[in-house]
Amino acid sequence: MSVRTDTARTANRLLLAAVRHSAPRTAVLCLTSAAGSAAALLLPTALGRALDLLLRHGTAAQAARWTLLCAALLAASVALDAAQTLLSGTTDARTTAWLRDRLLHRILGIGPDAAARFTPGDLVARCTGNAATAGTAATAVASLVATLITPVGALVALTLIDPWLSAVFLAGGPLLALLLRTFAHASSDCVARYQRAQGAMAGRLVEALTGARTIAAAGTAEWEAARVLEPLPELSRQGHRMWQVQGRATGQAAVLVPLLQTAVLAVGGVRLGTGHLSVGELLAASRYAVLATGVGVFVGRLAALVSARAAVARAAEVLAVPAMPYGDRKPPGGDGELELRGVTVVRGGVPVLDGLDLRVPGGSSVAVVGRSGAGKSVLAAVAGRLTDPDAGTVLLDGVPLPRIARQELRREVGYAFERPALFGTTIADAIGYGVDRPAPERCVAAARAAHADDFVRLLPGAYQTERARAPLSGGEIQRLGLARAFAHCGRLLILDDATSSLDSVTELRISEALAHHVPARTRLLIAHRASTAARADLVVWLEDGRVRAVGPHGRLWKLAEYRAVFGGSRSEGAADDGS
């Protein structure tokens, strides 16, 4: 309940922030809409007055003046309507861009683990279609406020013409209010369900596109298409429900509104017969009765606001996730000593790291080994603050990571992953990604250290080859990911199984480069191969989220349980250990 309440509060704040963001435009839109409503409200009176002058044989000059006033009011209505359309479009675009900017920064700022609570496709849906709908919130609010002016003004005008006419209209007021309240409640629920179904389909589609090769190899295209479209019946059901709700409200209004208008005209006819109304006043009253019962326009505006409010709520769910806070400190001079004190990380109610204590000496090469699920990758993520622990502290050269400024931390810590994602237009961009204006020599040196220089120079444009068109194997992509980490890192380099796709000879050469040609002072390697662990200064053996043992690979290899982590025999271990 508290999470739902917090999200609702965030949604309300976001809705107000969207209106404030375009406050000047929204204010002008409100004024323009109000002026348009005023012109619409003055027109019946002007028409009625002109008619009375003609019927009562008023002077030609008087009739001409009122006729010109009617024409001016009509022209003003057309011009103001065009201005509203222009302002609405530009305000919607401006608010949508602002909202997308906030969403994108929050998604990238909460960290990969926190963002994983949403599927990629769902996030895409929230940042595209939902953001575009939410971007109409400011104009929807302005239009709804302006739309209220017309029926309220019409009711006031009816009262001024004859209080009996407004009394007749007000007799049906409670039914109109109930109709609008029911519509808003039912519409809000089905719109929210509709947008959730859209997000579910988008998420499954992104998953299918990511695994297109697997789907083709398995011959499961039809099954996967059915899986992606599985939420379609719910989407259709909620879509039909939305139209049913709106249709029901329109149908009920179509019955109620003519009854109210007929009642007003009937009473107006009686008042005309008794001499309390003129023909022109009856004409104006009939028009005001129509404006006062403009439920169709109001329902449309209300539907737009309900849809925007539901989309804002989906954006608020993302913005309710707190971004990772950073300090403003710069790490003191040091060799990159990494220390974890009582670190606990819980996933799905299960501790992945459980009160872990670890000290990685500055300037050393430390391999982290363990069976699948031991917590190795989570340790790597915590060590460089891709995620924060649920308890405990991580320090770099004695400074807690949350106190270090973002840019300083990312400058000092480099990462390479098992399946790196390459960014940038060219190969050189991909290597220098994250480095502010990297020198070409730096990128080339990093590529040589990662043994990527040879195959890069064979590409049509060498380092200026377009990344998207470069035919790269899995091992070559992994080496470019290593090159990026080498070009980026400062005092700490974390390799999360970043050499798994490399052959033994290439891995050995990269290990030698790590020791002699990479500027990182401390290297933390998540290792699945005994050969990788054998070349490290120390090995941290993880088991069930805790440190089972720390020591040189050669000493640990004497333990049968340690050898079982790699699935190797004693003879294989002797070869890996170099003995």
pLDDT at 213: 67
> Is residue 22 within 8 Å of residue 95, measured between CB atoms?
yes
The one-letter amino acid at 332:
P
CATH 3.40.50.300 occupies which residues in the chain? 338-577
Backbone angles phi, psi at 110, to 5 degrees: -85, -10
> Is residue 87 within 8 Å of residue 25, measured between CB atoms?
yes
CA 477/CA 422 separation, integer angstroms:
8
> Is residue 143 within 8 Å of residue 88, measured between CB atoms?
yes
> Which one, of 376, 358, 360, lies nearest residue 368 by Cα?
376
CA 90/CA 70 separation, integer angstroms:
31
CA 80/CA 63 separation, integer angstroms:
26
CATH of 338-577, one of 3.30.70.1290, 3.40.50.300, 3.30.43.10, 3.40.50.620: 3.40.50.300
Backbone angles phi, psi at 435, to 5 degrees: -105, 130
pLDDT at 400: 92
pLDDT at 539: 92
CA 475/CA 506 separation, integer angstroms:
10
> Is residue 551 within 8 Å of residue 539, measured between CB atoms?
yes
- The sign of the CA dihedral 474, 516, 357, 411 is negative
> Which one, of 74, 72, 75, 69, lies nearest residue 51 by Cα?
69
Superfamily of domain 2-319: ABC transporter type 1, transmembrane domain (1.20.1560.10)
CA 261/CA 285 separation, integer angstroms:
10
C-alpha distances out from residue 307 to 186, 465, 540, Å: 12, 46, 54
The one-letter amino acid at 106:
R
> Which one, of 73, 20, 22, lies nearest residue 46 by Cα?
73
Neighbours of 427 (CB within 10 A): 25
DSSP string, 270-335: HHHHTTSS-HHHHHHHHHHHHHHT-HHHHHHHHHHHHHHHHHHHHHHHHHTSPPPP---B-PPS-S
pLDDT at 186: 67
pLDDT at 573: 46
Q: What's CA 305's distance to the chain center, in Å?
A: 20
**Beta strand ranges found along 470-557 (DSSP E):** 492-496, 522-526, 538-543, 546-551
CATH 1.20.1560.10 occupies which residues in the chain? 2-319
CA 187/CA 81 separation, integer angstroms:
27
From its phi and psi, is residue 283 left (phi > 0), alpha (psi between -120 and 50) or beta?
A: alpha
Q: 452: Cβ–Cβ under 8 A, 6 or more apart, which residues?
A: 431, 476, 479, 480, 482, 483
Helix, coil or strand: residue 356: strand
CA 180/CA 249 separation, integer angstroms:
8
pLDDT at 391: 92
The one-letter amino acid at 474:
G
CA-based R_g, the chain, Å: 35
Q: pLDDT of the chain along its 579 residues, tens only?
A: 444 555 567 777 787 787 777 778 888 888 888 888 888 888 888 888 888 777 776 677 777 888 888 888 888 888 888 888 888 888 888 888 888 888 888 888 887 777 777 888 788 888 888 888 888 888 887 777 777 788 788 888 888 888 888 887 777 667 766 666 666 666 667 777 887 787 788 878 877 777 776 777 667 778 778 888 888 888 788 777 777 776 666 666 666 666 777 777 788 788 788 878 888 888 888 887 777 776 556 666 777 777 788 888 888 888 888 888 888 888 888 888 899 999 999 887 888 898 899 999 888 889 999 888 888 889 988 988 888 898 999 999 989 999 999 888 888 888 888 888 888 888 888 888 877 777 788 888 888 888 888 888 988 888 888 888 888 888 888 888 888 888 877 888 888 877 776 777 777 777 777 766 666 678 898 888 888 888 888 999 998 889 899 999 989 998 988 988 887 544 444 444 443
C-alpha distances out from residue 291 to 44, 264, 268, 455, 457, Å: 10, 12, 16, 74, 74
β-pair partners for 539: 367, 551
Burial-class residue 327 by CB neighbours within 10 Å (0-12, 13-18, 19+).
middle
> Is residue 488 within 8 Å of residue 435, measured between CB atoms?
yes
Neighbours of 531 (CB within 10 A): 21
β-pair partners for 329: 404
Relative orientation angle of helices 173-210 and 295-319, to the nearest 10 degrees: 40
In angstroms, how far apart are the furthest CA atoms of the chain? 121
CA 54/CA 64 separation, integer angstroms:
10
CA 230/CA 233 separation, integer angstroms:
7
| Location of structure tokens 């999200």 | 7
